[in-house]
Structure 1
Amino acid sequence: MASGPPPQRRPSMTDAVDACFFAFSGVAAVWFAYVLLREGVRPGWPALLLVVFWIFFTYLALPRLHRILTRIYLPGYFIGRTRTSDGLLGDPVNLALHGREDQVHAAMTAAGWTRADDLGLRSGSHIVTQTLRRRSYAAAPVSPLHLFDRQQDFAYEQEVTGSPSRRHHVRFWRCPEGWRLPGGFAVDWLAAATYDRSVGVSLFTLQVTHKIDENTDVERDFVVSTVTGADPAVGVEVLEHFSSGYHARNGGGDRIRTDGHLPVVDLRRVSTGERTPVAVPTDSRDRRPATTVTGATIALLRAAVYSATVGVLLVAPRHARHLEDLGFSPHELRELAPVLAVVFAVAAVVDGGLGLAILAGRNWARLTLMTVCSLTAFTAFLATVGSDGRPIGLGSLPSLGLSILVLLALSSPSARAHAVHRQLPEIGPSGGDPASLASTHRGRQDPAP
């Protein structure tokens, strides 16, 4: 018999504050994109800002707008589809599995699949260079898709013709404890299998991404056939018409079609070998997300810049010309150099301390830094209201852009989930839903790096 929905945690004041930051960062990103566009449509070197505008609008502002809109109109319960990082409906969930995590790894490895690297700066840049060079990268990372409000726990893939632009791949999510599929069927894992046929531009976000083959059922059946063919202990049960057959598009704008069947692969009889340790259950929220690292790194870089500015003000204030964009004349800079040095020294300590605290998973530091960056963006906006010239000086664009980038990164769902998730043990068993508390227990066993 299907279990009822888990009790939901009542929204807190922190949730409301996070929602405000989430919305404000989207508005600020759109405004800054307009600033870049207006500054870029001028002759000469400022035209290079049009490239910055495209990158900022495509990869930051537009995805945040998608996130805000999808929070309004898309349901939060399971509907058989994953979500992209932008909140759009992603690939269909077309596989389910029984078994432990080590049995999933053993079955996929025996079937000739390669575990994909986690997406990071190094792996992301490597897949770009290997794609441009048309060279093999068997463990190329896959883009994050979300289910149960978190990205995939891991993914497996098989390259085709030695090119990372074409590959079979499947993402896996551990189901929360006690969770059941619609209809009451309990499984341990859900998965989404698709085939990357080429690299192209997303229809909805204009980002460069992989384009998948329309017939996702073929890839689903390919995964099942490779796993069952490699180990006769693997069993399969098909939930026919688990969902209605449909035609749709995924978050990249690619067409998808499926008959709605859901194969359930039973790996509980798969042998992992006597020397194979039992895998600790994973939870992607235990891993420090790139958005958290990005926000903290920018804070640390700003602290370094502020420290360098202090040195310039104390040693040679006449060379602090970048501060003239703040309205200081050369004479005022010389006169106020000691005072400004103290101000920038305090800013360096604050940004540096907050950056380190954010890396350590402190939610109060994340909220504090977002407050500081929001004040910076709002002050810059007020300074341009009613002005008949350019919205903002070119010299101030990098500082303002970094503040908005911090806002976008730290207000993202992944950064918030990581910061809040790490604090759940302090809440105790009286608060939070069972799935979150189960994930918290796993987090204590396998702490974030």
Structure 2
Amino acid sequence: MSIDRSQDRQLSLVGVVDWAFFAYSGVAAIWLAYVLLRDGVVGGWQLPLLVVFWLFFTYLVLPRLHGILTTIYVPNYFIGRARTSDGLLGDPVNLGVLGGEAEIHTAFDAAGWTRADDLGLGTSWRLVRSIASRRSYARAPVSPLYLFGRQQDFAYQREVAGSPSKRHHLRLWRCPPGWLLPGGFPVHWLGAATYDRRVGLSLFTLQVTHKIEEDIDVERDFVVGTLTEAASTVTVRTLERFASGYHTRNGGGDRILTDGDLPILDLGGVTTSSVQCDVATDSRDRRPAMIVLGSSLALIRGACYLLFAALLLTAPDLLARLGSRDVVDLTNTVTVGTVVTLLVALTAIDVFLTLRVLSGYQWARLGLMAACALTSLVGFASTVGNSAPLGIGDLPAIGGSILVLLALSSPRSREWSHRRSRKPLR
């Protein structure tokens, strides 16, 4: 009996291409960070580029470097630790649950916990404003951590003193069907409970993030205590010394200490509402923020192309003053017309591919990344042997292309597009 491996070969080829874009975007990001730093120290209008450099380096360059390196040396199987979106080892798994999703929601609601909002552009901005203004945000989102190759299915939290800077919180992941803990213990869900004590900078990426309390066993026991006190039907069994006690750091660089015990909550006796049903959630099916961000940046890049074309036709003198390098001969009508036509065509391609990316088409994501890679390569070639700073007109095209690459080549974007491409698109 012959086995058709054409799909496996196709997926392997897509994986190789994806990995190439993933690695290239990291190299391109380092180059752009260098250019921003080089031009920022010159002064003039480029001086604010130093702030852009810090944002770009901490939120894009360092995470991508961590992602490339951890893909190589961090094992991709269960070791009792979640991982950050950059691939770094995150919070330890310190709680297990037996029961369905409906039982979890009922038990946590009864114990006074609040389900956290999903992390997105809107909820992230609301969280930033709440922290800055010291206003309550009881459903504030938590950052994604990954277990079984996907981010948490949902999270619960308890805000402290009306401040989103301090909170009890727990992430929960549904275990794969038939999966057993090391030692053969059955469990339906795994969780990571930690206490956010303040907002600070990550030791590994310099990003603004929550800093957790070192003794995570206190938070683990707090979660167990609130649920068992709220419902007598909730029972707990503890796997003592499930993992060896250790001192280490999480993905944000915070020290963590645990005794290695793993309590397993049994919610089988929790009575749920008749209208509730245990519909399996899968975080991988949600459109990730990186897809939305990358698509938005691609549309902005297209708008910049149109603006550049309009300036070529209506205000070439202004364009010459803004740009620091002679890219187009503004005195040649044929050249200007050709460039304008090319820019309009590039905008149309960007819009077409972006709409397909948002719908989950794998080929569109790869095509848009290829277009962005070509643009950044042209920009890189133009700086070789040229010490002149980038012009204002260069930054949206080159910088925007690299940002789109970083967003669409992220693991979440790859996984979502792959899953969508294997499902019927409505």
TM-score by shorter chain over 0.5: yes
Shift in Å at residue 305 of structure 1?
Answer: 3.0
Shift in Å at residue 385 of structure 1?
Answer: 2.1
RMSD: 1.9
Alignment match, 1:147: 147
* Identity fraction in percent: 57
Q: Which amino acid aligns with 2:404?
A: V
Aligned equivalents of 2:317 and 2:388: distance in 1?
26
Aligned equivalents of 1:20 and 1:326: distance in 2?
32
Aligned equivalents of 1:110 and 1:209: distance in 2?
29
Aligned equivalents of 1:316 and 1:195: distance in 2?
56
Alignment match, 2:289: 290
Flag the 1:140–1:160 CA change in 2: closer, same or farther, 3 A: same
Structure 1 residue 201 corresponds to structure 2 residue 196:
no
Flag the 1:38–1:317 CA change in 2: closer, same or farther, 3 A: closer
Give CA-to-partner distance per residue, 1:181-229, whole Å, 9 cap, x none: 1112221111000000111111111011100000101100100110111
Structure 1 residue 33 corresponds to structure 2 residue 52:
no
Q: Which amino acid aligns with 2:31?
A: W
Shift in Å at residue 118 of structure 1?
Answer: 1.1
Aligned equivalents of 2:326 and 2:117: distance in 1?
44
- Judge conservation of contact 1:193–1:223 (CA < 8 Å) in 2: yes
- Judge conservation of contact 1:325–1:395 (CA < 8 Å) in 2: no
Aligned equivalents of 2:307 and 2:315: distance in 1?
12
Aligned equivalents of 2:206 and 2:28: distance in 1?
20
Shift in Å at residue 304 of structure 1?
Answer: 2.7
Shift in Å at residue 424 of structure 1?
Answer: 2.7
- Judge conservation of contact 2:301–2:396 (CA < 8 Å) in 1: no
Runs of 5+ in structure 1 lacking a partner? 1-8, 427-443
Alignment match, 2:411: 413
Aligned 1:1-16 pairs, distance under 5 A: 12-16=12-16
Q: Which amino acid aligns with 1:73?
A: Y
Give CA-to-partner distance per residue, 1:57-95, whole Å, 9 cap, x none: 000000100111111111111000011111111011001
Give CA-to-partner distance per residue, 1:278-330, whole Å, 9 cap, x none: 03211111100011011111112222333344455556666654678462233
Aligned equivalents of 1:335 and 1:43: distance in 2?
36
Aligned equivalents of 1:63 and 1:155: distance in 2?
23
Aligned equivalents of 2:388 and 2:312: distance in 1?
28
Flag the 1:46–1:301 CA change in 2: closer, same or farther, 3 A: closer
Aligned equivalents of 2:138 and 2:250: distance in 1?
24
Relative to the length of structure 1, the TM-score reads 0.89
Structure 1 residue 183 corresponds to structure 2 residue 183:
yes
Aligned equivalents of 1:346 and 1:78: distance in 2?
48
Aligned 1:323-402 pairs, distance under 5 A: 325=325, 327-332=327-332, 334-387=333-386, 389-390=387-388, 392-402=390-400
Aligned equivalents of 2:339 and 2:374: distance in 1?
19
Alignment match, 1:92: 92
Flag the 1:398–1:314 CA change in 2: closer, same or farther, 3 A: closer
Q: Which amino acid aligns with 1:260?
A: G
Give CA-to-partner distance per residue, 1:342-391, whole Å, 9 cap, x none: 2122111100001100000001000011111111111221222233x236
Shift in Å at residue 262 of structure 1?
Answer: 0.6
- Judge conservation of contact 2:193–2:220 (CA < 8 Å) in 1: yes
Aligned 1:24-423 pairs, distance under 5 A: 24-274=24-274, 276-313=275-312, 321=320, 325=325, 327-332=327-332, 334-387=333-386, 389-390=387-388, 392-423=390-421
Q: Which amino acid aligns with 1:239?
A: L
